[in-house]
Structure 1
Amino acid sequence: MERVEAARDLVLGYVRALKTIDEAMRVAIPSLERLADFLGLVRSRRTLSRSGHVGTYSYKVHGAGCCFVSDNGIEVDVDFAADGRELFDLWRLRWYGLSLPKPLDVTDEDLRYAVQSLQPLLTEVRPGWFSVVS
């Protein structure tokens, strides 16, 4: 049961970290209405490059998302749906756990159980991809 609780804490930590990043980016870039708008600023090539630093985070845009890294090395990788929702999968959750100051390595099975136990806070938007319910 400890493993499942650790996985659940990891998922909740990821969700909190994502919210903290959203708030920090909107403070640093007041024109952002939501975190997904960050990609538009990068893709326009007028405001932000594909990688750099904003506030206390470094970032690197990739495909449909971005990897944000805090000054203390915690990585939060997120993809964005066409409607702007923030999406993540088990791999992103595991990577977040491994980047923590005290790395936490949990199994995909424990993470899947943790994510399912957190419904209705989280929803599976397509097989293996999850989002926070707004």
Structure 2
Amino acid sequence: MERVEAARDLVLAHVRALHSIDEAMRAAIPSLERLADVLGLARSRRISRSADIGTYSYKVHGAGCRFISDDGTEVDVDFTADGSEVFDLWRLRLYGLSLPETVDVTDEDLRSAVRSLRPLLTEVRPGWFRVTS
């Protein structure tokens, strides 16, 4: 049970980090209405595909973006067509492994943790989750 608790804490920390990134990016880029708008702005060349903004750096990729904080913590997220921020177990593990005090949990423990966090999290397609609005 301890491992699932650690995984649950990791998922909740990831959700908080994503919220902090959203706030920081919207404060730094006034035209940003939601975090997903980073993709459109980068694709239209109104902002760079990668840059440093405040305490974060970002790099747009495919359907998403990787954010790295000054302490090296990585939050990688994809965006759906409606602008929802989605992540999978791999991205949650990447986050845990990038923390200053590394948290290494199994996919099985993460899956149990995500299930325990319903209705906060919704599975949007097999293995992909978003924070319920």
TM band (smaller chain) = over 0.9
2:123 aligned with 1:103, yes or no?
no
User: Quick one: distance in 2 between partners of 1:10 and 1:93?
Assistant: 8
> Equivalent residues in 2 for 1:1-134 (5 A)?
1-45=1-45, 47-134=46-133
User: Quick one: distance in 2 between partners of 1:91 and 1:76?
Assistant: 11
* Post-superposition offset of 1:31: 1.0
- 1:25 is matched by which residue type in structure 2? M
Structure 1 residue ranges, 4+ long, deviating more than 3 angstroms after superposition: none
State how many pairs are aligned: 133
Identity %: 79
- 2:65 is matched by which residue type in structure 1? C
1:70-116 C-alpha deviation (Å, 9 max, x unpaired):
01100000000000000000000000000001000000000000000
TM-score of the superposition, structure 1-length normalised? 0.98
TM-score of the superposition, structure 2-length normalised? 0.98
Q: Which runs of 5+ in 1 are unaligned?
A: none
- 1:13 is matched by which residue type in structure 2? A
User: Quick one: distance in 2 between partners of 1:49 and 1:13?
Assistant: 28
